[in-house]
Structure 1
Amino acid sequence: MSKKSSVPYVLLITIEDQLQDIIPTKNEIIDLTRAFAQSVGKEVPIDTIDFDLTKKDILRQNLDCLSDDEKFDFMSQIQKLSYVKCRPELEEEITNLLSYQDRITGSKDSRNSISGLLAAYPPKIRKQWTKACIFFDKDDYRNALDNVRLAVELLVKELTKSDASLENQQKNLGNFLKAKGIGKQVRNYLHNILNIYEKIQNNEVKHDVPESLSREEVTFIMNQSYVLIKFLVDCDNKAF
């Protein structure tokens, strides 16, 4: 797994370790992986017995030719085999592995949803959102947060028709939300979120690489940005 992968590596290794113990022969491992690879239009690198390779070597090398989604699909099929079903711990670990696919799919759906929502606005806004997602996938958190902040700021400028910076948009944004029928409590709540968001951005991102922020914290900020953008677009589309 030399390339960047969204499949949890440690969990995959744990599953591979157990599979090599319960799949009786090297030939069966080759048959299983080759049949699946061919079903998705690929060829496995190990398709004949190599006595210098262990069962685990064969399994890992043949799985490495698959994409992340294909690995998930392969494990989903393996989970249905009788010798896996009789091992509850292994079955549970495969279930845990497959749960990551749901999280990844959900994340992609959210991103696509925002891209669709932003299609009605100047292209530069959607461009910044897309760049933020690409940087996040590359673990480039500094640029991910820089670009997502800019996407939010550009959207706010578009809605308020003001070129003021995000931190100076409180009155303009309040007027916009009030005109859309948003109550005072929710307006104040949004301002509080933006203030905290702005402080994190200023303290952790604008002036340094955010090494103190974990992936979970960066994910939270990205998700918060998603909520902000969706709420603002929904408000903009509200007719009175």
Structure 2
Amino acid sequence: MIPITFISHASDFLGDTNTGLTGPKIAELFSEYAVQYNVNIPFGEYPFDSPNKRTALKENLKAFSSDQQFIILKDLCELEHFKSNSDVKDLKIKLLSRYGNLGKEINEILIHEVRHWLSDYPESLKVYTEALRKFDNQIFERNIMDDLRLSLELLLKGILKNNKPLEKQTSDIGAYIREKGVSKELINMFIKLVDYYCHYQNTYVKHNDAVVENEIEIIFEMTSSFMKFISRIK
């Protein structure tokens, strides 16, 4: 749980009169979070019916769960607006060091970032979101793994501009990330991991209805890490 004292402290910097976010920007960002998390916020329109924008920001934050607050605060700290703000950089360090354990069984921050990077690839995002829905509802069936595989496959088809199945993409992946200046060592490791991933899927999922439930989480996070990496370096 993030204490109200920290929420107030963060709001003072993020909503600072001179260096913080503007009132309209606070309303815009929090309205997006309200829709994303299906939460009612007290100050979704500007001008605010509150003493100041710091108060509006704080009260909006209080409407969310601790897990959601963590993600929102991290997002806000990483905005381009605060790129040179040493106070906000220090705030982010405090947030991560004190409350970095917040989140669901699957790394919620990673999930949030992946969905952001997949916004340019709606077909992949749709399948990935469906896999996440099944996980959240504890629907541990074979098709949750199928969804993860397909979402990664669709992303690679979109980025590499081909129509190859996942297991045929390793050489194209290597060539693509090599063009982006990635080190030889990381290229080799990434390709090897994708190869192992395909082998796992083919052995335990694609040709077998049995799903090992306690392995789903690591496969979910591995898929997410692959997708985040390949989409960020484009």
TM-score by length of 1: 0.52
Shift of 1:106: 6.7
Aligned-residue RMSD, C-alpha: 2.2
Aligned residues: 136
Structure of greater Rg: 1
Kindly indicate whether residue 125 of structure 2 is the aligned counterpart of residue 119 of structure 1.
no
Of structures 1 and 2, the one with the larger relative CO (CA 8 A, separation 6+) is 2
Partner Cα distance (1:220, 1:230) in 2: 15
Q: Tell me, which stretches of 5 or more residues in structure 2 are unaligned?
A: 1-64, 67-98
Q: Counterpart in 1 of 2:96? A: none
Q: Counterpart in 2 of 1:227? A: 225
Aligned counterparts, 1:79-94, within 5 A: none
Q: Counterpart in 2 of 1:197? A: 197
1:121-159 per-position Cα deviation (integer Å, ceiling 9, x unaligned): 2x1110011011112222324111100111111111111
Partner Cα distance (1:141, 1:181) in 2: 39
Matched to 1:234, the amino acid is R
Tell me the SS of whatever aligns to 1:104: coil
Alignment check: 8 A CA contact 1:141 1:218 kept = no
Shift of 1:192: 0.8
Alignment check: 8 A CA contact 1:125 1:151 kept = yes
Q: Counterpart in 1 of 2:206? A: 206
Tell me the SS of whatever aligns to 2:104: helix
Q: Counterpart in 2 of 1:128? A: 127
Q: Counterpart in 1 of 2:168? A: 168
Partner Cα distance (2:198, 2:135) in 1: 19
Partner Cα distance (1:105, 1:210) in 2: 22
Matched to 2:131, the amino acid is A
Matched to 1:225, the amino acid is T
Partner Cα distance (1:128, 1:174) in 2: 25
State, as a whole percentage, how many aligned pairs show the same letter: 26
Alignment check: 8 A CA contact 1:132 1:144 kept = yes
Alignment check: 8 A CA contact 1:134 1:144 kept = no
Aligned counterparts, 1:44-193, within 5 A: 102-104=102-104, 107-121=107-121, 123-137=122-136, 138-193=138-193
Partner Cα distance (1:177, 1:156) in 2: 12
Q: Tell me, which stretches of 5 or more residues in structure 1 are unaligned?
A: 1-68, 71-98
